[in-house]
Amino acid sequence: MGITRDDDVLGGEPRVDGTRVGVRHVATRVIDSGQSPALVADQLDVSLAEVYESLSYYYAHIDEMRELEAESDAAFERVRESSLKPKETVQ
């Protein structure tokens, strides 16, 4: 049990060891979505201790987590901007 990083998994973001469950994913569900830690543990097939460990890591590294979120948002925006746009209708 623990939080780990591996460049080949989740782009190197912190995650629950032995899984593809990211710390930010757990935090988003609990903090932003208001799901109970027990529900998140059940849905993501991790232990309740791993959920709390993820939350602890999130808060202990809040600046890093915010930076990762900003990078993710920027990448999403780049993809959105470069994606095909529907043709404008002529009226």
Q: What is the domain partition of the chain in residue ranges? A: 3-82
In percent, the amount of the chain with pLDDT more than 90 equals 71
Give the model's pLDDT for residue 55: 97
Q: Which of 26-35, 51-60, 81-90 has the lowest mean pLDDT?
A: 81-90
Give the model's pLDDT for residue 20: 95
Asked whether the beta carbons of 36 and 22 are under 8 A apart, the reply is no
How many Å apart are CA 68 and CA 34, to the nearest integer?
21
| Cα 79 to Cα 8, 55, 73, distances in angstroms | 21, 29, 10
Give a three-class secondary structure readout of 2-18: CEECECCEHHHCCEECC
* pTM for the whole structure: 0.80
Give the model's pLDDT for residue 78: 85
pLDDT in tens, 17-46: 999 999 999 999 999 999 999 999 999 999
Strand partners, 3: 16
Q: Does domain 3-82 have CATH number 1.10.10.10?
A: yes
